[in-house]
A and B are shown apart, each in its own frame.
Chain A
Amino acid sequence: MVTFNRADACAGTETVLLNIGPQHPSTHGVTHILVELSGETVVAAKPILGYLHRGIEKLAEYRTWQQDLVYTDRLDYVSQIGNEWAYCRAVERLTAIEVPERAEWIRTLFCELNRITSHIMWYAGVTMDIGTMGTPFIYAFKARERIYDFFEAVTGARMMYNYFRFGGVRCDVAPGLLEDIHDYLGGEFLELMDDLDALLLGNEIVQSRMKGIGAFTTAQLVEWGITGPFLRASGLAQDLRKDAPYGAYDKVEFAVPTSTVSDSFARCEVRMAEMREAASICRQVIERMPEGDISVKVPRLLKPEAGEVYVRTESPRGELGIYLVSDGGPKPYRFRVRSPIFYNISALPKMLPGWKLQDALVIFGGIDTSMGEIDR
């Protein structure tokens, strides 16, 4: 555990305030971190949020339950399906809608595909942060483009799918597509993953930049409210897909990748392993997907009974919670998103002090931010 003494770090010198963020070319959108530097050492850090606060929680109160589904895509625009699913699960739990078996499997399939594309965005961000010219990121985008093609074949959109419906999914998967996905994830994708592994984990410069950087204990991370791969890299196998299974997760076999080292490199290893696990889940789902209905009939204008519900799902970034309050009307009374990265990024003031500026960016890259969800 690192102990950091501010007085030692800036003894007799003046500190510099440096803005990392709006508007800055790092690949993390509009994240703004104000860091105080003594030389190249960070002595204090403060994330400044809200540059993308579009007021989704307020707007959702003025739209019907179905219309709000549109906003969930735009919350965390890197793992759209995960958000749709979280919201659908919350509404389904509130209104006691039963989802057909096949729909659950289709949802699991696309959620895991989305997890891969989301981790690819993390990969792009972290490799840019440590200063590559973009080669690993462009290789990783090969896989992303292929998977976006699959999404496009099913949903008609590249990014904003709007695919899930209360009680199922919008449409069935086209014939032949499942085989394509299965073949791709079993062959070409794994070869590409080997390349990506070699470019990130196998690179000695990366190892020297990441090993031992940002080492925190599990107790610290739990206290700071960290969830997701960042926490799992410290050895705590906390994953809602195992702990409180939903969808078809209890019917497929998968491991929760963990590491006991708990540094930035371990976080990379965990995320890379998660991508492989996600591919394996997808292939199992395709092999064992049952036939049947893909959705149930749901009233055009949904009016859940008055009540409230809180549903947590495992998004690629951690524990995503949706809290809904209904007053029996056609619109939600309160729509609240518990964003995993909001909690993760709020721990930065405790994480960054004591590290060099370049290390701070590596640690920050391990969080895998998506400002759309933090600011909502």
Chain B
Amino acid sequence: MSGLGWNTVLWLAGLFALMALTALIGVYWERKVIGHFQARRGPLHHGWHGLLQLPADMVKMISKEDVVPTKADRMLFQVAPMFVAVPAFTSLAAMTFMPGVAFVDMRHGLFFVFAMQTVMPVGFALIGWSCDNKYTLLGGLRAAAQLISYEIPMLLAAMGVVMSVGSMRLTDIAQAQASGPWFIVRQPIGFVIFSLAVLAEINRTPFDMPEAESELVAGYHTEYSGMKFGLVQLAEYTALLMGSYLIATLFLGGWNMPLLPASPVWLFLKTVLLMTSTMWFRATFPRLRVDTLMEMSWKILIPVALANIMLVASLMLVLPKRWF
């Protein structure tokens, strides 16, 4: 174990713990939040306020039979969830919590995250195709199309921030908001586009066409049972965490708070708040239609995002450095 010190091992263990905890607490929190939005209580009787509900679900899912449909492409069926899960988990490695406190403080952290997320559509399409089921096929293709369309406005909107900061390191981006106003104030258009695109990127309502219950049973993961379904769900919640984290870091100041000392607590609170608001959307909104969704990306978000880059560039020339 020459290059692999204890520090790395600890960080890796932390990464895995974060993943598992996000999914467990995320699902629990979502069931609670949506329950309360629906005037219900959510999980309540297993453990204190249902806290043991998710461990029970995990135990059950791990011990469920692993069904492989007869006509499915056996190898792809087994492997495809990895194409979704691995990029989602790997992108977590780029998270930074404070200057110096990070898994890996990459110089191109933002680039790394985007690169990882670009792999996910492949996974969705593979899952959809490998099951030999029309519902999964439609769901998988919808997911792939949606992810590819929304990556572009997401990247373009983030580009405004990157131009302004002059770095792709997530630490730099957050630190740039320490003294000046947050990027939500400096680039509101970019914020709106980025949030919408992230919402679509993580398949959340009102963009959850890929798993539309009313027409596609459960979308691309219809055929997955037991822990494979658990893995896909884990990946979804990890993506949700990553999306919320990105919005918090890029536009909401990261660990900075005006008038108060910088702390990872702020980052954590902002992320949880953003995650909760996606749950709020999920409890309230119906879903859009597929073609409306595509139109929104290609006809509205991308042109506006491009215009936003122009605007940022020209303001950078005109305004003092402190502002841009």
Contact = CB atoms under 8 A, between A and B. Distances in A.
A16 B128 CA distance: 15
Given A18-B138, A138-B39, A128 B213 contact: yes
A357 B288 CA distance: 12
A33 to B, nearest CB: 10
Interface stretch (A20-28, A162-170, A235-243, A279-287): A20-28
A146 to B, nearest CB: 14
B283 A135 contact: yes
Contacts of B135: 18
Given A131-B212, A131-B214, A138-B40, A40 B34 contact: no
Given A138-B40, A139-B39, A356-B291, A205 B215 contact: no
B41 interface: no
Residue in B37, B214, B215 with the greatest tally of chain A CB atoms within 10 Å: B214
A205 B206 contact: yes
A134 B292 CA distance: 22
A346 interface: no
B290 A205 contact: no
Nearest to B289: A358
Contacts of A26: 213-215
B286 A358 contact: no
B212 A132 contact: no
Interface residues of B, number: 29
A143 to B, nearest CB: 13
A137 B290 CA distance: 23
A129 B216 CA distance: 11
Nearest to A213: B289
A361 B286 contact: no
A206 interface: yes
A130 B214 CA distance: 7
A127 B286 contact: yes
Contacts of A135: 34, 37-38, 283-284
Interface string B202-240: 000110110011110110000000000000000000000
Contact of B205 (A133, A139, A357): A133
Contact of B134 (A16, A24, A139, A359): A16
B215 A358 contact: yes
B289 A203 contact: no
B283 A208 contact: no
A336 interface: no
Contacts of B217: 24-25
Contacts of A203: 285-286
Contacts of A133: 34, 38, 205, 282-283
Contacts of A127: 286
B291 A40 contact: yes
B39 A208 contact: no
Interface in B281-303: 282-292
A305 B138 CA distance: 59
A293 to B, nearest CB: 42
A334 interface: no
B290 to A, nearest CB: 6
Nearest to B39: A138
Given A133-B282, A133-B283, A135-B284, A20 B289 contact: no
B286 A131 contact: yes
Interface string A79-123: 000000000000000000000000000000000000000000000
Contacts of A361: 214-215
Nearest to B142: A40
Contacts of B212: 131, 358
Nearest to B34: A133
A206 B206 CA distance: 11
Contacts of A24: 217
A27 B215 CA distance: 11
Contacts of B218: 25
A239 to B, nearest CB: 30
A159 B289 CA distance: 36
Interface string B264-288: 0000000000000000001111111
A356 B134 contact: no
Contacts of A182: none
Contact of A205 (B37, B208, B285, B291): B285
Instruction: Give the top 5 A-B pairs by smallest Cβ distance, nearest first.
Output: A131-B287, A130-B286, A138-B38, A129-B214, A131-B286
7 contacts: A40-B290, A132-B286, A135-B284, A205-B206, A205-B285, A206-B286, A358-B209
